[in-house]
Amino acid sequence: MYSVIFIGFDIADEHGSLIRAHVSMVLASMDLPAKAITVNMKQYNGKASCTYCLDPGETMAGNRLHRFWPHTATQVFRTEESFMQSAMTAIQRNTAVCIPMQ
């Protein structure tokens, strides 16, 4: 997703000339599964899947399907830069990336 913003893609106009397009989403309204797909993140119940912080979250004993994020004094919030760095690292490694809390 993020590579399209930086690299762009070519579109042919009506005369056959190529135009370089760079795309960026400005505003969207979607449910959590769609949001996870759009930002290429783990779904809302995966480790470090909170879109607001880098906290990996916790699961209850005996029920690993439900994850929750209790408030902590050391909570580190995501920034635009951290989203971009995670995306670029994931693209380079071709694997999921989890930036640990600082």
- Distance of alpha carbon 15 from alpha carbon 47, whole angstroms: 49
- Give the pair of three-digit tokens for residue 4: 């399209």
Is 19 a member of any domain? no
pLDDT one-digit tens code per residue, 65-92: 788 878 778 888 888 888 888 878 888 8
- Distance of alpha carbon 52 from alpha carbon 87, whole angstroms: 15
Is 44 a member of any domain? yes
The string of DSSP letters for 21-62 reads E----------HHHHHHHTT---TTSTT--SSB----EEETT
Is 25 a member of any domain? no
Q: How far is CA 102 from CA 54, 90, 95, in A?
A: 9, 19, 21
The count of structural domains within the chain is 1
pLDDT one-digit tens code per residue, 43-61: 766 777 777 787 878 888 8
Query: Quick one: pLDDT at residue 101?
Result: 46
